[in-house]
Amino acid sequence: MEEVVHARGHEHVTAQHASTLELTSDDYLTPAGDCIIGIEADRTPADFDRGFVAACRDADATITATFEADDHTETVSGRGHPDLEFANDRSLVCRTSEYVDDRTVMVEGDAAAADLDREFVAALAEGADLRAVFRVE
C-alpha cells in the first residue's frame, strides 16, 4: 500500500534536525523549522486511507518514504507502531526515535533531515517541487 504527498521546497529549508523530518501543509517556513523539508503539502496524515493507517499500526510493519525533488531521490525507512494515530491535519513527521504523536507517520527511521544529501536539500531550498511516496509492508 502507498500514499503520495506533493509539496514544495522553500528558501528556509536547511534540513539540520538530527532526529526528525517533516512535511507541512503550511504555506510558510521560518528558519527555526530545521526539520521541515517541504511546505504546502497537499495531504496530511488525517487524509491517509484507513487501510494504510491500520497497516502502519503493526509494530512489525516496515514503512518506507521516498522523497523526490528535481533529479534527486532520498529514501528513509522505519517501522510502524500500534499507537500511530494519523490524525493531524497540518503536518507529518518521520522520526528516528520511538516517540509517537498525532503527526508521526514512522518511528525508528534510519535517517532524519540532517542525514539527507546536501544537493537534495539545496534543490528544496531553491523551491523545487517535492514528491513523497510512503509505502507500508
Confidence at residue 132, expressed as pLDDT on a 0 to 100 scale: 98
**What's the mean pLDDT when you consider all of the chain?**
97
pLDDT (tens digit, 9 = 90+) per residue, 9-23? Answer: 999 999 999 999 999
CATH number of the domain located at residue range(s) 2-136 in this protein: 2.60.120.630
Confidence at residue 34, expressed as pLDDT on a 0 to 100 scale: 97
Give the cell for residue 48. Answer: 491517509
CA 116 to centroid of chain Cα atoms: 12
Confidence at residue 21, expressed as pLDDT on a 0 to 100 scale: 98
Residue type, 16: Q
Strand partners, 63: 78, 136
Confidence at residue 79, expressed as pLDDT on a 0 to 100 scale: 98
Beta strands 36-38 and 20-24, pairing class: parallel
Confidence at residue 31, expressed as pLDDT on a 0 to 100 scale: 93
pLDDT (tens digit, 9 = 90+) per residue, 22-68? Answer: 999 999 999 999 999 999 999 999 999 999 999 999 999 999 999 99
pLDDT (tens digit, 9 = 90+) per residue, 76-111? Answer: 999 999 999 999 999 999 999 999 999 999 999 999
Beta strands 72-79 and 62-69, pairing class: antiparallel
Give the cell for residue 99. Answer: 516517540
Q: Answer whether 24's CB lies under 8 Å from 90's CB.
A: yes
In angstroms and rounded to an integer, the radius of gyration of the C-alpha atoms of the chain is 13
